[in-house]
Amino acid sequence: QVQLVESGGGLVQAGGSLRLSCAASGRTFSGYTMGWFRQAPGKEREFVAAISWRSGYTYYADSVKGRFTISRDNAKNTVYLRMNSLKPEDTAVYYCAARGTLVIDTTPRGYDYWGQGTQVTVSS
């Protein structure tokens, strides 16, 4: 009964910022990797960022490195994605995902649980 619920998406102008949240429930996530993926219309779902719940170790896609920051709040069982310097090409539905191992994976099929997604639209 693992559930992941994303929030925080919306419309923002290019150069602006948003913070997405992923509320996780249903089990202890200390042994998990949490990831963010995104999918634009007509395109494949792509990796954005991941974090080890236990250690906080992070990994980013080249397209967002230096602009996005993934983090977690253990007390709130919540994972965040802070997005700065947003570009129109960042427009997509953003999904939170959970993987039952601490080994980082960048492929969607490596993740066991998914949220419903939240829309991020960046205008030029």
Residue 102: which pLDDT band, with cuts at 50, 70 and 90? confident
Residues 7-37 have pLDDT tens digits of 999 999 999 999 999 999 998 999 999 999 9
- The dihedrals phi and psi of 57, each to the nearest 5 degrees, come to -60, 135
User: In whole numbers, what is the pLDDT of the chain averaged over residues?
Assistant: 96
- The dihedrals phi and psi of 89, each to the nearest 5 degrees, come to -70, -5
Residues 66-93 have pLDDT tens digits of 999 999 999 999 999 999 999 999 999 9
Q: Percentage of the chain with pLDDT > 70?
A: 100
Here the tokens at position 17 are 């910022």
